[in-house]
Structure formats: structure tokens, C-alpha cells
Structure 1
Amino acid sequence: MSDAFIASDLFGELDRLQRQMSNLFGGFPASLRSTRVGLFPQINVGSTDDSIEIVAFAPGLDLGKLNLTVEKGLLTISGQRDVESNQLPEGARQYAQERFSGAFRRAVELPQHADPEKVQARYVDGCLLISVGKRETSKPRSITVQ
């Protein structure tokens, strides 16, 4: 076996090994790619001059089971996501499930200049949009030189 063959077929061998391990443990097919447990909802965090903007991608939430708290510099998103367990046709055997259901909790550390009194949240099209205002003292300001 040549070195070129090993280098070009390395990923094929790794896929084969992953399929064998999945079969050994009665798991999911090798093509199933998922995030670590506990990373629901996935988030994006950004900043403007006036606020910290957080988008949590969380489709299928019942707003009555959603909690949003700010305490000691941590913004916590928690709740319950219920997904109908049997969405497949009768007689079909499930071998992969990527959609998360159950209790979740996600914490985001806020910067020191975030003002916990200025938090707004809304749920639009499966996304939780959170805006945390910045303290006035941390906002950019122009200084006139005399």
C-alpha cells in the first residue's frame, strides 16, 4: 500500500470506522451530524453602539414554557420544548432523530457594560430576539478639545 493511497482514502476509512462503531452500539447512521447535547438553542451574539443583540434559534417553543432571566451578569434562557414523539407513519422504524425535545437551559455571560434593566425580548419566526441595552457611561461619546 502506498502513502498516496493512504492519504487519499483516509476519510473513507474514518467514515467506515464510524459506521462500524455506530452499528456496534446500535446507534445512528454515520451520516447523522448533530451538535453536542445541551447546546439548544443555538445562539448568535453581536453588539451595536447601544446594545448587545442575542438571537436564539429555537423553533417550536411554547412561550408559556420559556423563561428568560438576568442575574449576576448572566442571561439565562431556559424552558421546555415538546415535540410530538411519533411523527413517522405507522410501521416505520426510527433510526435517527435530530430534533431536540425536553428541558433546556442556556446561559450567556453579559459584558460589564450591559444594563440588566434594559432587556427586551420577542419571539419571531422561531427565533428568540433579545436586546440588552448598554449603560450610558459605556456608550461612545465625542469630546470637544479646547
Structure 2
Amino acid sequence: MLFPASAYLRGDPFDLMRRMTRELDRGHIPRTASAFPAVNVWQGPEAAAVTAELPGVESGDIDITVKDNVLTIAGQRRAPDAAEDATWHRRERRYGRFSRAIRLPFEADPENVEARLGDGVLQIVIGRREQDKPRRIEIRAA
């Protein structure tokens, strides 16, 4: 833990504030875990659309799979090349492997999925199975 609760119990009430300032100056920012990549999902009668924010990720470093009603986006964001003797002043972006599973609002047709990556945004359209599409029922006269 970066800032233990015991710091509050010390004699100097400003000790925790000084420690936080030092850590922030070094670029160590305490943060809550957040899902990566951030996604938006919406649905129409024929398909669902998913957008995922993937800045700095190349298309060759992304794997997309669809099974039943789960879309999985996995991959790797590579760290930038830095000289061995470089000193980081701030390091807020995360690098490394990631995986995100998104439950879709219907069972997907894995043969009807398209994906595009542009400007750091992955766009995926997932078609709905024909038998799962809503059908209009005709009412016959009695």
C-alpha cells in the first residue's frame, strides 16, 4: 500500500501530505484499477456494435474472438523504446498484455463479425444469428 492508514496516526498531521507530494513528483500516481480497453456497446435488430479505445496498439497485437454471447478482445500494448540511461519523470500509461471479455446482448454469429482499427479506436460489428433475430408475427383474421 502506497499510503498506509498508520500515517494518519503519527504526530505530524502533514506527514501523509508530504509523502503524497513526493510520490506524485516522482510520477507514481495511485489509481484504482480500471478495465482496459474502455468499451462502448450498443445493439440494433441485426447486430451489435462495439468500440474499444486502444491508443498505441497495432492491429497485429490484437486478438478478437467471439463464442456464444461473449466477445473477447486481447492483446498487448508495447512500451516505447527509451534509452537505458533515461529517467522517467512521469509514467501514467500502462503497457503489457490485456484481455477484456464483454457479454453481448444476444448469441453472436461468429461468421458475421467485422473489425477495423483507426485512430486508436477498434470498431467491431457482430451480427446476430438468423434464428435469434426478432421476427414480426402476422396476425390472421379469425
Structure 1 length-normalised TM: 0.67
- Distance in 2 (alpha carbons) for counterparts of 1:80 and 1:91: 23
Q: Quote the residue 1:132 is aligned against.
A: 126
**CA distance 1:106–1:91, shift in 2 (3 Å):** closer
Structure 2 unaligned residues grouped into runs of 5+? 1-13
CA offset digits 1:32-71 (Å, max 9, x no partner)? 685515x211111111111111100001112121111123
Conserved 8 A contact 1:56-1:128: yes
**CA distance 1:93–1:79, shift in 2 (3 Å):** closer
Conserved 8 A contact 2:43-2:105: no
May I ask how many residue pairs the two structures share in their alignment? 124
- Distance in 2 (alpha carbons) for counterparts of 1:101 and 1:124: 19
Structure 1 unaligned residues grouped into runs of 5+? 1-15
Question: Aligned letter for 1:22?
Answer: M
- Distance in 2 (alpha carbons) for counterparts of 1:107 and 1:18: 38
- Distance in 1 (alpha carbons) for counterparts of 2:110 and 2:15: 49
The partner residue of 2:71 within 75, 86, 100 is: 75
Q: How does 1:96-135 map to 2 (within 5 A)?
A: 96-135=90-129
Structure 2 length-normalised TM: 0.69
- Distance in 2 (alpha carbons) for counterparts of 1:127 and 1:135: 26
Q: Quote the residue 2:48 is aligned against.
A: 52
The partner residue of 1:65 within 53, 61, 66 is: 61
Q: Percent identity?
A: 35
Q: What secondary structure does 1:27 align onto?
A: helix
RMSD over aligned CA atoms reads 3.1
Judge which range, 132-141 or 115-124, deviates more.
Answer: 132-141
How big is the shift at 1:134?
Answer: 0.9
Q: Quote the residue 1:36 is aligned against.
A: 33
